[in-house]
Amino acid sequence: MSYEKTRGHPPDFEVHYRFFTPEEGGRYSGPPWQHYRGDWAYAETPKELYMIHPEFIDEDGALVADGQPVPWEGRATMWALIPERRAEIHRARIQVGVKGFFMEGNKKVAEATVTRVLNLHNNPSFTVGK
């Protein structure tokens, strides 16, 4: 089931990603499956991890089916899980061209570049004082 249905709002932004090969220090088990829950790190602060999960899409923009492996390289929509972080951090940092990594613990397993900001500024967020 799509994140849009389970989370009740559209994705925050889109990235072009590339998983690192085992020779580059990446995943030895091959590419992950749809609804992989690795974390996100901004390239300039790679030790700070955020719960931003990818949902992989194919060349036509359709979701890769549940239970299917994703391509080593392609596009993904991204979902910031913690509304407070969306409001306080990600709205100021995410813009086209921003680079980051998909992380598994402290291990970088993929590089990514923001290609489109989608609904980041419209999706539900915690509002200070309310």
User: How far is it, in rounded angstroms, from Cα 102 to Cα 2?
Assistant: 19
Please state which of the four CATH numbers 3.30.1330.60, 3.30.70.120, 1.10.8.870, 2.40.30.10 is assigned to the domain occupying 3-117.
2.40.30.10
Considering only the C-alpha atoms of the chain, give the largest distance between any 2 of them, rounded to a whole number of Å. Answer: 49
CA distances from 100 to 61, 68, 126 (A): 21, 24, 24
Q: Which residue has the higher pLDDT, 116 or 28?
A: 116
- Per residue in 50-107, pLDDT (tens digit) is 999 999 999 898 999 988 889 999 999 999 999 999 989 999 999 999 999 999 999 9
